[in-house]
Amino acid sequence: MTIDWEKEVQQRTPEMLADLAALIAINSSRNDAEATASAPLGEGPRDALLKVLSFGERDGFTTKNIDNLAGRIEYGNGTEALGIFAHMDVVPAGEGWATEPFKLTEQDGKLIGRGTSDDKGPSVAAYYGLKIVRDLGLPLSKKVQLIFGTDEESDWTGLNRYQETEKMPDFGFSPDAEFPIINGEKGITDLTIKFPTLAQSKAATLTLTSFTAGLRSNMVPQNAKAVITGAADLATAFEAFLAANPVTGQLKQTGATSTLTVIGKVAHSMAPEDGINAATYLATFLADLDLDQAGKAYVTIIRDYFHQADRGQHLNIAHTDEIMGDLTASPDLFNYQAGTVPDLLLNVRYPKGTDAATITRNIKQTLTDYQVEIVPSAHSMTPHYVAPDDPLVATLLSVFEARTGQPGHQEVVGGGTYGRLLKRGVAFGALFDDRENVMHQANEYTLKADFLKAAAIYAQAIYELAK
């Protein structure tokens, strides 16, 4: 049987766009302040989950909701199950958008909106891939389970709950990364580094009252703000600093209080080199001022050990694996309030050959003069790798080649996807490897043509893996 997968997608394009628009309209970033018994992660993640499950109910699939934290759309029968893992949550919109982030906007061949690339667009493409297989009545020997989480961008609360109550699939993929395939993912750990010795301070000409930056542990901070008290004219020096560096900013002075903001560029923490860390740039400027002892130490540490050091080279944690590549280190959350213990959160993504304990130990030794305390996140991941000769990898690469005419190849990334939940699990699309990666950035988009192409790829992949 010859199937024109692209034609099948084209026939369903209006419905695909309508469903995507309905999901993009929901601000589904985690919001613990809104958490209730019926919305454990806030109303947005719950509402997005309910919406995507409603698509399955509308179209006659079997669905299941697990505590408004995770859900499943299922089709077919068999002793084995193919799992497709996607997520309905998004990172916060942040600033710098030219369009409304929670309204799907089609412009110049782009589908713009928060989640179009990560991960609502790929989720809709995968869903319609499954729908095409079902609509065509293609014979399958395995169950297909499209499984949705609601907290992939933070602690994986949804899929952790799913694993407690549901039988996991035997093998599968996550449409939450890049084509042609991601068969290796680095280990991930968030380390909160606390500085107890900086809780007290000696007076100086200027006092750092506060220093804050960052929205999430997996986003390079785009904005940073510092408040300084004390009589000083900082305008000339700050303007010169902004002119000499790839950031913008603003200085407001009210009496003896100066508020400085710096704006850089947000990026996914798996590739911190794609961003401009506003916090480390602001700290670099502040480190040259006559600040109080604690404030001076805090910003100097940031400048000396974290600024433009996205491989952890100044912390003695740099490491490279021949297959998995470099360790990356992205300082993403900063919190300094005068008179309290300041901290910063470092997002580390590491290849085989090192581990979280070694990384933590080396940072402590490097910062030994400050007697730091390091608290690891409970949500940590070890490196994950599926060999290229595994039938799962081979099949997905052959489908990619058939649908694109391009050669397939393996790839390892720093991102953590649901693909790693399974021993035989990988990430498969939906970003094509010659495209701009705008996940977690302002003006996030996917090309409409790529969105449709991904659906055709997923349809054939589901059929080939489950037939």
Token pair, residue 56, equals 């399955």
Angle value at C-alpha 343, between 342 and 346, nearest 5 degrees: 165
Q: Which two tokens stand for residue 10?
A: 């084209």
Please report the pLDDT score of residue 132 as a whole number. Answer: 98
pTM of the entire structure?
0.79
Contact assessment for residue 444 and residue 118, using Cβ atoms and an 8 Å cutoff: yes
Length of the chain (residues): 467
Assigned token pair, 162? 């799913």
pLDDT (mean) for 379-393: 92
Nearest partner of 242 among 226, 264, 212, judged by Cα: 264
Token pair, residue 73, equals 């759309």
Give the residues across from 222 on adjacent strands: none
The model's confidence at residue 374, banded by pLDDT at 50, 70 and 90, is: very high
Q: What DSSP letter does each residue of 142-180 carry, written as one string?
A: SEEEEEEES-TTTT-HHHHHHHHHSPPPSEEEESSEESS
User: What average pLDDT does this structure show over 369-395?
Assistant: 93
Alpha-carbon span 36 to 122, nearest angstrom: 29
Q: Indicate if the pLDDT at residue 48 is higher than 80.
A: yes
Active site residues: 89, 152
Q: How far is CA 403 from the centre of its chain?
A: 27
Take residue 262 and report the two structure tokens written for it.
């710096």
Integer CA distances (angstroms), 5 to 11, 188, 399, 462, in order: 10, 37, 11, 12
pLDDT score of 151 more than 70: yes
Query: Residue 193 in contact with residue 343, Cβ under 8 Å?
Result: yes
CATH superfamily to which 5-186+383-466 belongs: Zn peptidases (3.40.630.10)
C-alpha dist (Å) from residue 73 to 126, 143, 159, 267, 337: 11, 11, 14, 31, 47
Contact 171, 348 (CB under 8 A): no
Residue 434: predicted pLDDT: 86
**Mean pLDDT confidence for 263-276:** 94
Place of tokens 């804050």: 212
Percentage with pLDDT > 70 across the chain:
99
Tens digit of pLDDT for each residue in 135-144? 999 999 999 9
* Comparison of pLDDT for 17 and 233, the residue scoring more: 17
- What pLDDT band is residue 154 in, cutting at 50, 70 and 90? confident
How does residue 73 score in pLDDT terms, banded at 50, 70 and 90?
A: very high
First to last CA, the chain: 13
Grade residue 232 by pLDDT with cuts at 50, 70 and 90: confident
For 417, how many CA atoms within 13 A lie in the half-sphere containing its CB?
32
pLDDT tens profile 211-223: 999 998 999 999 9
Q: What's the whole-number mean pLDDT along residues 145-154?
A: 95
pLDDT band at residue 416 under the 50/70/90 scheme = confident
| High-pLDDT (> 90) share of the chain, % | 91
Decide if pLDDT at 245 tops 80.
yes
pLDDT range class, residue 390, cuts 50, 70, 90: very high
Q: Which two tokens stand for residue 28?
A: 């589904």
Could you give the CA distance from residue 246 to residue 193 in angstroms, rounded to a whole number? 27
Looking at residue 413, what is its pLDDT? 86
User: pLDDT tier at 428 (50, 70, 90 boundaries)?
Assistant: very high
Name the DSSP letter for residue 419: G
Backbone angles phi, psi at 276, to 5 degrees: -130, 110
Say whether pLDDT at 343 is over 90. Answer: yes
What whole-number distance in Å separates Cα of residue 464 and Cα of residue 52? 24
Q: To 10 degrees, what angle do helices 448-466 and 13-24 make?
A: 100
Containing H/E element for 244?
A: helix 235-244
At 47 the three-state DSSP class reads helix
Judge if the upstream peptide bond of residue 351 is cis by omega within 30 degrees of 0. Answer: no
pLDDT (0 to 100) of residue 379: 77
User: Are 372 and 438 spatial neighbours (Cβ–Cβ below 8 Å)?
Assistant: no
Give residue limits of the domains in the chain: 5-186+383-466, 188-376
Is residue 201 predicted with pLDDT exceeding 70? no
Rg (C-alpha) for the chain, rounded Å, is: 24
- Residue 414, pLDDT above cutoff 90: no
Residue 198 has pLDDT above 70, yes or no: yes
Per-residue pLDDT, 155: 87
Name which of 277, 233, 239 is nearest 258 in CA terms: 233
At 415, the pLDDT band (50, 70, 90 cuts) reads confident
Sign of CA dihedral 366, 370, 375, 377: negative
Contact 128, 53 (CB under 8 A): no
Closest CA to 5 of 465, 407, 461: 461
Query: Contact, 365 vs 188, CB < 8 A?
Result: no
What number does CATH give the domain 188-376? 3.30.70.360
pLDDT value at position 444?
Answer: 97
Average pLDDT of every residue of the chain:
96
pLDDT tens digits, one per residue of 174-187: 999 999 999 999 99
Has residue 203 got a pLDDT over 80?
no
Amino acid at 460: Q
Cβ contact 143:74 at 8 Å? yes
When pLDDT is averaged across residues 23-37 and rounded to a whole number, the result is: 96
